[in-house]
Amino acid sequence: MPSYKAPVADAMFLLRDVFHWDRYGNLPGFVDAPLDVTEAILGEAGKLAEAELQPVNASGDREGCTRREDGTVTTPKGFKKAYDAYAQGGWIGLAAPGEYGGQGLPYTLAAIVNEFCAAANMALTMYPGLTQGAVAALLRHGNDAQKKTYVPAMLEGRWSGTMNLTEPHCGTDLGLLKTKAAPQGDGSFKISGQKIFISAGEHDLTENIVHLVLARIEGAPAGVKGISLFVVPKFLPGPDGAPGARNAVSCGSIEHKMGIHGNATCVMNYDGATGWLVGEANRGLAAMFVMMNEARLGVAMQGLAQSEVAWQNASAYAKERVQGRSLTGAKAPDKAADPLIVHPDVRRMLLEAASFNAAARALAIYAGLQSDLSVRAADDKERQAADDRLGLLTPVLKGVFTDTGFANAVQAQQVLGGHGYVAEWGLEQFVRDARIAMIYEGANGVQALDLVGRKLPKDGGRAMTALMGELAAFAKEQAAEPRMAEFVGPLKVGLDQLQKATFWLMANGLARPDDAGAASYDYMHLFGLVLLGWMHCRIARACIDAAPPDADRRLKLARFFMARRLPEAAAHLAKLSSGAATLMAFEPAEM
Amino acid sequence: MPSYKAPVADAMFLLRDVFHWDRYGNLPGFVDAPLDVTEAILGEAGKLAEAELQPVNASGDREGCTRREDGTVTTPKGFKKAYDAYAQGGWIGLAAPGEYGGQGLPYTLAAIVNEFCAAANMALTMYPGLTQGAVAALLRHGNDAQKKTYVPAMLEGRWSGTMNLTEPHCGTDLGLLKTKAAPQGDGSFKISGQKIFISAGEHDLTENIVHLVLARIEGAPAGVKGISLFVVPKFLPGPDGAPGARNAVSCGSIEHKMGIHGNATCVMNYDGATGWLVGEANRGLAAMFVMMNEARLGVAMQGLAQSEVAWQNASAYAKERVQGRSLTGAKAPDKAADPLIVHPDVRRMLLEAASFNAAARALAIYAGLQSDLSVRAADDKERQAADDRLGLLTPVLKGVFTDTGFANAVQAQQVLGGHGYVAEWGLEQFVRDARIAMIYEGANGVQALDLVGRKLPKDGGRAMTALMGELAAFAKEQAAEPRMAEFVGPLKVGLDQLQKATFWLMANGLARPDDAGAASYDYMHLFGLVLLGWMHCRIARACIDAAPPDADRRLKLARFFMARRLPEAAAHLAKLSSGAATLMAFEPAEM
């Protein structure tokens, strides 16, 4: 049976020694979360993940969700109890404003909690995760009445949220969407259409479900400029705020899919359902994008989470399972064979995951801090700089964390051999669950295009210029510490490659958009490798300065990463600078 | 619904124009398969795959196998009919000797047929595939009576075969196996023990199942030198050759696993079952290895097969599905959006698979020819050279084809976005099915060790020296054809990297085995890239010389490969030459 232990100590090391959490102590939210409080919060989150969510993960996968003839959906046994523990612990509103019942703590902490819970049970954690995304959109774009009607019940977890974007004929290209909204004259709209792939669209965990739905108001322009956002509750809230009449929205079927079986992926039918406009008419896509940025970071955390839990289980197996002898002579001569961990190639598989997990957790916390600073910093310029940085990092984290998280889960599965392929040990579930994160909230190719086409050139490249400057300054500063040379040397090589790639894009991608498109995916991964390398350097520096108890292990992980992952950057640079010609030469019939 | 079209024309191009099939026309077996006959055979195999096997692939995955209380196992609906079509077409004995009812045709053709059938239905094709492996072992190591008793019924498909190696506590390290064989004084043995992960261990497709079982004769030495091979039929053949008394071997349970649901993966209990020694006592592992080399090539074909069928379906989807606009302006202005195929990054995903499929099929045929030459060539030296080459290529093909095949299936799934994650379109099944091929018949890390630890140094490096010589000579020859320069240039770079890696291994791996182990996986993939690059060059040369109708497409695929895949070789070289230190520095507790 698979197990999971939340990496609380690692998160605390990163917050304390790498990112100097106490320096932010005067900012809103941070003031309530000094290091000891933060440690207690993360400890509780770890317990929730380990004791409530993880025990129903494998059983939830086996059982899946069931849609009954009346359109209701039953979640797997034990999900309701685990969900209630999550909700009653106040975790949904951890970073939400106190005004609506949230705890107002830094988003950074919510991101860490999100990793723990998604590692323990990704399918289950998606239910409150979607609620958090819907709350973010309502808080930013809803009117006061909407906020008061929906947000408190959602933060308590009595009501849950969903995002309704995709339709049978459109996912990435939302300009094509057909769902209609007809004004009723009383301020409400009748919503009609079909949405597909709606996670948590229908279930038995909450007393109401609040759907945020993209639809086109009658007479609105075609394309993305005619899309509006609506709130469409499953039960219409009565004057007392309690769920009242059943709305004309229902689950038509649930998908049979590769993984996340415990989360109901629904076809949702809107048959003249009553909804209310959220924000301005025809500005729905922008409103939804608010939700999507946060959701993308949440999905990035799922990639890290599955990598972490898969690695934990493969690592435990590799130390227990004896099979074959070390190439350099028996290491456990008293046993019939040596444990798998003696084999260099088994170590390679485990360390690829472990070295990613360590640096990705750092990078996630770094991005979380940018998110917090972008709204909580006292200074306008600081807020702007953090917002720039966050915008640049978001597609990289989503794309790289989910691609690498999946690849690491596959490697971890490989460590177990045949035992990785059968359900009993849980690894194959991690692989199947991790796979979706590369697709939803914008497929990773779309993230790469967002990075190259939007985030890089935005404001004359301001965000990238600032980041490159900071990285160069960091590398320079470290010259004063000779023990950093072995880490900073490879980082500088990677940084140089990233700069070359960026110049290549500027020189070619602007004039020939296909060159930018053809380069985008390799550029995103090159970018990710350099950011992860930077994080390993920052961790190494913290190990040197603060000498935490497991400094040795962390320095070894950084060395491994520099020797055995960062060299991939060169291949990405070579590929992307070969241009679009070898891709675009094909006629469609030839492909 | 997924579909499949067997690439008969591509195989014929490779046989005719790249490998000059007619040059082998005087060898046994080849004499019966001139090009026109071969084309007819492959055409029929394609029909079998498309019309009989593929239609029950998705349904077989959904339904899976069922074990009943009496220990019998039911295969999915339609499997029996499809299996019968396979058997009755004579496909099991395609390359087996005529003496026992086989057709005696080249193994190369069987390998191609194997690709078609595994692409159409991997789970089903495994049943006759295991029979072929068991037949190979019986023909090589069985006595005359055993051959006569078992082989004809197996080639007809009335009886099927299995390989029983793995036990709960050992897979890779067979020296640990515990299954016992007690002599009965009448030449037979009583076999007792438990085997796990036995593909096709029990099912309802054939009237008898012939298990080849590794066990230890009472008093035999510990370790691999005390293992013997036994034939243990489900029903003991009577004097008339018909299945008689039920033997004491039974299926205790079937595994719940990630994919290949249509193939029963069984726990097999041997409770004093009657078995007969195959070959010499205590030489069972060597006998089983005969079976495993052929089986490894078969598994390599599964990797290619899943890559091909996944690519076919993703390619069709990318041309049909309209979503978004080309970065360079609308390409289908009459439609609401452009087909996905206009997007460079979608092309990248498809072309990574397509360029692999083209070269991997060539390499598979090349390996098949070496297999044929190793037994059918007239000249001793030629047979030896082919055997050397085949031994060197086998682990590379198994490891690289299955890793890359899986990665390509994942990419193909990505092309479909959310539709790739749900069962309806079939892509997620290809991914789940493809995953096992990286594990069974020796996990890919074990293939890499076999390559580096056994195949490279064997006979003073004779096989590698010969291959490197041939590659260098090929590159030199092509200098006379200026149209080859764009392909041979990159190949020479890759070849140089492979040579550097080989020298690095010689200089370091012999003295420090952990360096060899740490380098093995990257070395295997570097080797694979160079071999695939060589095949693209040979294809390109055939396009220039023979000008087949789709020469243009093939040249474009070669260009894509050189620009966008071969650069990975440099990263492999950099990683492997960093040595074992960054892996071995960790204490087990730190991993």
Nearest to B256 among A323, A339, A422 (CB): A422
> Which segments of B377-512 does DSSP mark as H helices, in order?
380-415, 418-421, 427-437, 444-449, 458-477, 485-504
Active-site residue among A308, A428, A441, A481? A441
The CA distance from B162 to A508, in Å, is: 57
Mark which residues 367-406 of B lie under 8 Å from A by CB: 406
CB B583 to CB A347 under 8 A?
A: yes
CB A584 to CB B520 under 8 A?
A: no
Distances (CA, A) of B512 to A150, B450, B579: 65, 16, 10
Query: How far off is chain B from A589, nearest CA to CA, in Å?
Result: 9
Distances (CA, A) of B57 to B53, B67, B118: 7, 19, 10
What pLDDT score does B286 carry? 86
Q: Residue B174 in contact with residue B227, Cβ under 8 Å?
A: yes
What pLDDT score does A497 carry? 98
Distances (CA, A) of B241 to A295, B146, B302: 66, 11, 34
Could you read off the pLDDT of A143-154 as tens digits, one per residue?
Answer: 999 999 999 999
CB contacts of B354 in chain A (<8 Å) are: 591
> Which segments of A24-78 does DSSP mark as H helices, in order?
35-47, 57-63
User: Which tokens sit at A545?
Assistant: 């300065």
Return the residue in A1, A198, A253, A327 with the most chain B beta carbons within 10 A, the one to mutate for interface testing: A327
Listed residue (A429, A390, A520, A457) closest to A54, CA to CA: A429
Query: How far off is chain A from B60, nearest CA to CA, in Å?
Result: 15
CB A553 to CB B315 under 8 A?
A: no
What pLDDT score does B289 carry? 79
Q: Residue B426 in contact with residue B306, Cβ under 8 Å?
A: no
What pLDDT score does A581 carry? 97
Amino acid identity, residue A92?
Answer: I
Search chain A and give the residue with CA nearest B176.
A336
**For A150-264, where are the E strands, in sequence order?**
159-164, 180-183, 188-199, 208-217, 228-233, 235-237, 243-246, 249-254
What pLDDT score does A237 carry? 97
What pLDDT score does A287 carry? 85
CB atoms within 10 A of CB B456: 21
CB B348 to CB A420 under 8 A?
A: no
Domain-wise residue ranges, chain B:
452-591
3-state secondary structure of A449: helix
The CA distance from A441 to A460, in Å, is: 27
- Crossing angle between the packed helical segments A513-546 and A485-504, to the nearest 10 degrees: 160
User: Which tokens sit at B358?
Assistant: 């083209």
Please tell me what DSSP assigns to residue A505.
I
Say which residues have a Cβ less than 8 Å from residue B287's Cβ, sequence separation at least 6: B137, B140, B141, B229, B278, B279
Q: Residue B353 in contact with residue B314, Cβ under 8 Å?
A: yes
Search chain A and give the residue with CA nearest B561.
A582
Q: Residue B66 in contact with residue B134, Cβ under 8 Å?
A: no
Listed residue (A254, A239, A155, A238) closest to A200, CA to CA: A254
Q: Is B351 on the interface with A (CB under 8 A)?
A: yes
CB B513 to CB A328 under 8 A?
A: yes
Nearest to B345 among A256, A439, A449 (CB): A449
Could you read off the pLDDT of A417-444 as tens digits, one per residue?
Answer: 999 999 999 999 999 999 999 999 999 9
Amino acid identity, residue B417?
Answer: G
Q: Is A521 on the interface with B (CB under 8 A)?
A: yes
Q: Which residues pair with B183 in a beta bridge?
A: B189
CB A345 to CB B445 under 8 A?
A: yes
What pLDDT score does B293 carry? 76
Nearest to B443 among A265, A417, A590 (CB): A417
3-state secondary structure of A187: coil
CB A436 to CB B421 under 8 A?
A: yes
What pLDDT score does A590 carry? 95
Mark which residues 130-159 of B lie under 8 Å from A by CB: none
User: Which tokens sit at B252?
Assistant: 């205790």
The CA distance from A1 to B11, in Å, is: 45
Residues of B annotated catalytic, as ranges: 441
Mark which residues 463-492 of B lie under 8 Å from A by CB: none
Inter-chain Cβ pairs, chain A and chain B, closer than 8 A: 259
Amino acid identity, residue A507?
Answer: A
- Crossing angle between the packed helical segments A122-141 and A284-320, to the nearest 10 degrees: 160
Cβ-in-10-Å burial (0-12, 13-18, 19+) of B1 comes to exposed
Please tell me what DSSP assigns to residue B224.
G
Q: Say how many Å lie between the first and final Cα of chain B, rounded.
A: 44
Q: Which residues of chain A have pLDDT under 70?
A: none
Can you give the C-alpha Rg of chain B in angstroms?
24
Which pTM was predicted?
A: 0.98
Amino acid identity, residue A485?
Answer: A
What is the residue-level pLDDT of chain B in tens, covering all 591 positions? 899 999 999 999 999 999 999 999 999 999 999 999 999 999 999 999 999 999 999 999 999 999 999 999 999 999 999 999 999 999 999 999 999 999 999 999 999 999 999 999 999 999 999 999 999 999 999 999 999 999 999 999 999 999 999 999 998 899 999 999 999 999 999 999 999 999 999 999 999 999 999 999 999 999 999 999 999 999 999 999 999 999 999 999 999 999 999 999 999 999 999 999 999 999 999 888 777 778 899 999 999 999 999 999 999 999 999 999 999 999 999 999 999 999 999 999 999 999 999 999 999 999 999 999 999 999 999 999 999 999 999 999 999 999 999 999 999 999 999 999 999 999 999 999 999 999 999 999 999 999 999 999 999 999 999 999 999 999 999 999 999 999 999 999 999 999 999 999 999 998 999 999 999 999 999 999 999 999 999 999 999 999 999 999 999 999 999 999 999 999 999 999 999 999 999 999 999
Q: Residue B582 in contact with residue B536, Cβ under 8 Å?
A: no
Nearest to A428 among B258, B449, B578 (CB): B258
Listed residue (B545, B60, B489, B486) closest to B261, CA to CA: B60
What pLDDT score does A283 carry? 95
Distances (CA, A) of A237 to A151, A462, A582, B249: 12, 45, 57, 64
Can you give the C-alpha Rg of chain A in angstroms?
24
The CA distance from A310 to A350, in Å, is: 10
**For B226-328, where are the E strands, in sequence order?**
228-233, 235-237, 243-246, 249-254, 265-278
The CA distance from A446 to A399, in Å, is: 9
